[in-house]
Structure 1
Amino acid sequence: MTGDERKDLVQKFAALFSLVVLIVAFSLTSDAFFSLGNAMTVSLQTTSIAFLGIGVTVVILTGGIDLSVGSVLALSGTVAGLLVKAGWPVYAGMGVGVLVGTLCGIINGLVVTRLKLAPFIATLGMMMIARGVALQLTGAAPVSQLGEAFGELGNGAFFRMLEKGANGLPHMIFPGIPYPVVLMVLMAIVVAFILRRLSIGRHVYAVGSNEEASRLAGVNVNGTKMFAYATSGFLAGVTGIILMSRLVTAQPNEGVMYELDAIAAAVIGGTSLMGGVGTISGTMIGAFVIGILRNGLNMNGVSSFIQQIIIGCVIIGTVYVDHLRNRR
């Protein structure tokens, strides 16, 4: 085991320990927290952080950063909503929405690799452009009345069980496993497999560890970075259509500050902001740390303003730990 792998493992176990502590603490403070229904709710709420976190992790592993994912998800979901509103089949409209997200990621990659701009600046520009386009396309107004079929992806579930109660209304026996949760797990497995088993994945780690050495070793550095940013854009597009499907409304203002949650999930899970160190499993743990923290604080009546303060402190603390780790 290399030194980087050992540090990554220590950070991942630290994140897992934090997750267990949060679950125990919130179970003691709220009777409703440790229940099957709430577990499904937390999983569903965490999907957005996880999808974006997976994409951002791939980018950070190359030594870059992607600040545009929140705006890109809004643009992707808005495009999908507008196309469905115009009469397109639901999944065709959603497919184009995902393609729009992927295209934004490709543009980010081109600006970083061809124009040689710093990833921070390139993706900051895309953050503003994508949000502006989404607002312009909709006149800053939500796109509503998209029909029940549009909400199926975000609100459907496998194995959902209902029965008719004494009052004639449906009673939930088992909430089912939400489609977004299943998709989240599948996507995490696929990306983890790519990073660990395929050559492009090994190149991602190599570029983040030492870009110049990778280039001298024959690695296509620009192609690897393009892959990373395209992956992040693709997953932002997927997040956009799932979020809009859950709302059954396309919201151009959706996704504000989501990029910070995504980056925080990656760093909490052991991804180094210096690049070359990190895993998808660690990012998933980090996403659930944030999701459970929010859910537990909500159930204990903590205001959203205090939640922002707490999560902000968590972000600062984890980045500081990452800084100490790299300095050692």
Structure 2
Amino acid sequence: MTMTVTTPPAKSPARSGGRLSDRQKDLLQKFAALGSLLVLIVVFSLTSSAFFTVNNGMTIALQVTSIALLGIGATCVIITGGIDLSVGSVLALAGVVAALAVKELGMPVPIAMMIGILTGSLCGVINGVLVTKMRLPPFIATLGMMLIARGVALQITGARAVSGLGESFGELGNGALFRVVTIGDDGFPNVAFPGIPYPVILMVVIALAVALMLNRSVLGRHIYAVGSNAEAARLSGVNVSGVTCFTYILSGSLAGLTGCVLMSRLVTAQPNEGVMYELDAIASAVIGGTSLIGGVGTISGTFIGSFVIGILRNGLNMNGVSAFTQQIIIGLVILLTVWIDQLRNRR
């Protein structure tokens, strides 16, 4: 006698009890951010004829560069369950260090900028040590670094801008690939195509590199593991302190790079540069779907979030909205996205 046992079909891993999987929720958040970006583009294109032009597109891309580079670092830190409030001040310190290395020490510009980036890395190392070895809450550790870095930047410059850096110092921030310049009938040069700015190329390359690191490497899997459950990750053999420290070093290094790019664009180092930039960085990550409780986030989402903030600012400027009103609007956007993130986590 043969008995046939029928096994009920297994539940799909994507859905359990009608709930969305983490991956589906991430995609939903990312497409919501992308939808918001497209809506902003349509609205501002209708309200301003100059918005949808090549020159304004390049302007937006340049403005977004700083937000995106800082946001990439912020994303990695937030995924581990931390926060970095120091990037705006570290940006200023790295920029003035690079400028002083050129002006006071006569160093070549590439070496001076490398010193600026390493200054940011050092600040990241200190943040990492404070969080992992001294067990300080990330909020307090990076808040202290924010004050220290800004104070050092003001101290070493005497609270004055560092100018007279030469044209070569501005090459990184103001140069462009594939720029087309023609000579007009009047003998003056005309820019036929502004080219792709070097900072934009740098932003795209770094975004791709960090995205590959998070999605395709062991280190990337460890970063997500630490943010999801640090104790479980430790028991699984993950070096939790080392991984956490790496994310703060990456954030500091990207802040240093952003400082060098910004000061290069201005061809002047301002010790007061970068105020409140850390909030833009965190906002771009959260708008793109990075969860503030850790374990969830993507670079592509942060990239979209950066453009949402950049296009919102640019469009409001072109429509004559005051800077004070812009702060209110962007603050409301941040509150809304964090609220949506909290609702998603509760469900």
> Would you call these one fold, judging by a TM-score over 0.5?
yes
In structure 1, the partner of 2:138 is: 119
Matched, 1:64 2:82: yes
Consecutive unaligned residues in structure 2, runs of 5 or more: 1-12, 15-20
What is the deviation of 1:81? 0.3
Q: Specify the alignment match of 2:204 in structure 1.
A: 185
- 1:41 corresponds to: 59
Give 2:178's aligned residue. Answer: 159
The one-letter code of the counterpart of 2:43 is A
Q: CA deviation at 1:93?
A: 0.5
SS of residue paired to 2:182: strand
SS in 1 for 2:241: helix
Which residue of the partner structure matches residue 105 of structure 1? 124
What is the DSSP-based 3-state SS (H/G/I as helix, E as strand, rest coil) of the residue aligned with 1:173?
Answer: strand
Q: Report how far residue 37 of structure 1 moved.
A: 1.1
Segment drifting more, 233-242 vs 4-13: 4-13
Greater shift after overlay, 3-12 or 133-142? Answer: 3-12
2:237 and 2:225 map into 1 onto residues whose CA distance is 11
2:154 is aligned with what amino acid?
A: L
Q: Where does residue 208 of structure 1 map in the other structure?
A: 227
Is the counterpart of residue 272 in structure 1 residue 291 in structure 2? yes
Partner of 1:171: 190
RMSD of Structure 2 on Structure 1 (CA): 0.8
Q: 2:249 aligns with which of 221, 226, 230?
A: 230
How many residue pairs get aligned? The number is: 328
Q: Superposed, which structure 2 residues align to 1:1-328 within 5 Å?
A: 3-86=21-104, 87-328=106-347
Q: Distance in 1 between matches of 2:185 and 2:102?
A: 39
* TM-superposed deviation, 1:168: 2.9
Note the C-alpha offset of 1:165: 2.4
Give distance in 1, aligned partners of 2:59 and 2:208.
21
Tell me by how many angstroms 1:7 deviates. 1.2
Q: How many angstroms apart in 1 are the aligned matches of 2:75 and 2:22? A: 16
* Mapped contact 1:51–1:239 kept (Cα < 8 A): yes
Q: Tell me, in whole angstroms, the C-alpha distance in 1 between the residues paired with 2:269 and 2:107.
A: 15
Higher helix share: 1
Q: CA deviation at 1:166?
A: 3.3
* Aligned counterparts of 1:115 and 1:5: Cα–Cα separation in 2: 34
State the alpha-carbon separation in 2 of the partners of residues 136 and 276 from structure 1: 38
Provide the rounded CA distance (Å) in 2 between the counterparts of 1:168 and 1:205: 58
- AA aligned opposite 2:73: G
Give 3-state SS (helix, strand or coil) of 1:218's partner. Answer: coil
Q: Deviations over 1:261-318 (max 9, x none)?
A: 0000000000000000010000000000000000000111111111011001001111
Deviation at 1:171, TM superposition (A): 1.2
Distance in structure 1 (CA, Å) of the matches to 2:247 and 2:317: 34
SS in 2 for 1:324: helix
Aligned equivalents of 2:182, 2:133: Cα separation in 1 = 59
Paired amino acid for 1:151: G
Q: 1:73 touches 1:237 (CA, 8 Å); kept in 2?
A: yes
Shift of 1:156: 0.1
For the residue of structure 1 that corresponds to 2:320, the secondary structure is coil
- TM-score with structure 1 length normalisation? 0.99
SS at match of 1:297: helix
TM-score normalised to the size of structure 2?
Answer: 0.94
- Alignment deviations for residues 7-55 of structure 1 (CA, whole Å, 9 cap, x no partner): 1111000000000000000000011101111111100110000000000
Letter in 2 for 1:208: G
- Structure 1: unaligned runs, 5 residues or longer: none
Distance 2:292 2:187 in 1: 55
Report which of the two structures shows the higher radius of gyration computed on alpha carbons: 2
1:169 Cα shift? 2.4
- Quick check: 1:268–1:286 contact (8 Å CA) kept in 2? yes
How much has 1:56 moved relative to structure 2?
0.4
Distance 1:72 1:168 in 2: 45
C-alpha separation in 2, matches of 1:225 and 1:298: 38
Amino acid at match of 2:233: S
Query: Is the partner of 1:47 in helix, strand or coil?
Result: helix
Q: Is the 8 A contact 1:5 1:277 kept in 2?
A: no
